[in-house]
Amino acid sequence: MTFRGRPGLFRDARRLLPSGRGPLLRKALPVAAALPPVAAAWIGVTGWLAHSELRAAQDDLNALRTAVTAAAASGPAAASAGAPAESDQERLLRSAAAHAARAHDLTTGPAWYTAAALPLVGGPLETVRGIAQASDRLAGDVLPPLLRAVPRLTAGAHTGGVPRALTELGGQAPAFDRAARAADEVRSAVRRLDRSTWLPAADRGRAQLADQLDRLVPRTRDAAVAARWVPSMLGTQGPRRYFLSFQNTAEARGTGGLPGAFAVVRADRGRLTFERFGNNTELEGVGADVDLGDEFEAQYGNNGPAAVWANSNMSPHFPYAGRIWTEAWRTHTGQGLDGAIAIDPGTLGLLLRATGPARMPDGTELTADNTVDLTERASYATFTDVAQRKAFFVEAARAAAARMMTAFDDPSLLPALLSAVQDVQREGRMQLWSAHPAEQRLLETAGLAGALPDTPGPFAGLVVNNAAGTKLDYYLDRSLVWSPGACTDTGRAVTVTVTLANRAPVSGLPHYVTQRVDHPPYPTRAGDNRLLVSYYAGIGATLTGATLDGRKVALIPGAERGHPVYTLDLELPRQSSRTLVLHLREPRADHPPTLLRQALVTPMRATVRPTEPCGS
């Protein structure tokens, strides 16, 4: 938003102008000389004043950010006496808006308009005008409804608990919508400004503002969407019940991991309680009467996802799993549910970092650092009895859930919890499905639904399903490199390189971890794994060839939600890596692909090579 740390726009200009070197300046100087001296002086003075105003606005916003953070983290006593703090926030907001408005006023008028329109010379002046106008709109239209909501939400949490805060959040939805639209309009205007002028300080200011907007716009959009779905899903309009699955990512499935321990969660006016805990043994053999379409049946029907609980989430499109799980629960208990939620030990670790550790009945402490290792590796060595191990998983889930509920009722922890939830969302470790269509649409808009998009455009998705019944995906490494090639009349050539590595040790693993329930007809060793490897290409793409470790290989074609899917049944020996290369013809596009990130124990390393424009 400002040129922090710089001596000013026009001091940089003075450094450039006296030398007169370079073809650009030789062309620009005669044009600049045509400006009336008074107009040039006016632009210089007002430009410096505008720069000072923008710096003052930035200082106010920095102070405001500190004040808001302190107020959100303060205790009930501070909230109950929070009028002065709120007054300070309002004062800082008004001051920032006033400074930004003056900067905008200073860079308008005939002199600025005319100078900014001059060829060659006017570029940085137009950029400065754009920065000032954007700052004015940010301080006047975008930040006020967002920042003014914070004290109300915080006070609601402190004085009336989470239900009061949720009511306040729902009441802010129209204001959040207006702020999100304004933020998006400001970002579009800044993106239209010239990225490279003859004045580096102006370019840096535009780049800094663009970077801030790229972070702000998604947050305003998320706040607007959350204000419309969070209150209702947490039961402000009546009790809700959800199926919560704790996925075991040591055995990969399309949505993350094998559905293991589970709970039924009740939400009533913002209060969450756990009505029941169980493990996957209880649901084995329970079928779900759902029709997910011919395409789903063709892709997964042979694996019986609606009848075999362990295969219920092979598709990476989480709404399919949500429908299967809730319908299976109806079949099993007669109880209807309002939706489904999937998390994994990585989710628990991120949340426990915000809440502090949880303690199990046997004294075991679950922390941010040990949850994944304890539940997905160490427990297999500790418990040789399957029933004991499954009971341990349920108790771990129960202990973590109890810690979350305690934290949820502690307003001082809400900022840290919200930050942790953002981390979980960014890693794709929490997926939500609502049986209420309007809410489901909002979840998909917010990127929380784990939905496989069905829109055109470049796309790259690597999905693995464990086909061996092992727990060896704890040791799985994945990498994907997407390399665009030349454009033709029929599309763009794309090369995708997928490398999978099995880091399982050669000895020391429990039999339950390494056992091959697929009973392959070829010899294997303890630690060898088998995966169904699927690559999801962009809608309209075709496969022109593929190699595995340098040799041609045939892939099984399929389709899901319009995406071509190419699958390989891959044996992956311990302490080895294998490389699959796909050559594709994608529809012409000048932007990078949307990446599907399947959340497993070790995140996938993804590299997207630069995309050159196809031209006209």
> What's the CA gap between 16 and 48, in Å, rounded?
17
Q: In sequence order, what DSSP letters do the residues of 121-137 get, joined into one string?
A: TSHHHHHHHHHHHHHHH
Can you list the residues of the chain whose pLDDT is less than 50? Answer: 1-32, 34, 75-84
> What's the CA gap between 170 and 322, in Å, rounded?
25
**pLDDT for the residue 29:** 43
- Cβ atoms < 10 Å from Cβ of 363: 6
Which residue has tokens 């008074």? 38
> Which amino acid does the sequence have at 339?
G
> What's the CA gap between 448 and 467, in Å, rounded?
27
Total residue length of the chain:
616
**pLDDT for the residue 476:** 98
576 strand-pairing partners: 502
pTM, entire model:
0.84
> What's the CA gap between 258 and 128, in Å, rounded?
54
And the tokens for 73?
């983290």
Q: Give the start-to-end residue ranges of the domains of the chain.
A: 9-233, 240-445, 459-608
The CATH class given to the 459-608 domain equals mainly beta
Task: Look at residues 566, 564, 560 and name the one whose alpha carbon lies nearest to residue 296.
Answer: 560
Per DSSP bridges, beta strands 431-434 and 551-552 are unpaired
How far apart, in Å, are the Cα atoms of 417 and each of 231, 424, 537?
Answer: 17, 10, 35
**pLDDT for the residue 417:** 81
Strands (E), 430-506: 431-434, 459-466, 476-488, 491-502
**How wide is the angle at C-alpha 122 spanned by C-alphas 120 and 127, nearest 5°?**
120
| Dmax (CA) of the chain | 89
3-state secondary structure of 109: coil
How far apart, in Å, are the Cα atoms of 366 and each of 372, 378, 411?
Answer: 9, 13, 22
Quick one: residue 363, left, alpha or beta (phi over 0 = left, psi -120 to 50 = alpha)? Answer: left
Q: Judge contact between 429 and 256, C-beta under 8 A.
A: yes
**pLDDT for the residue 156:** 59
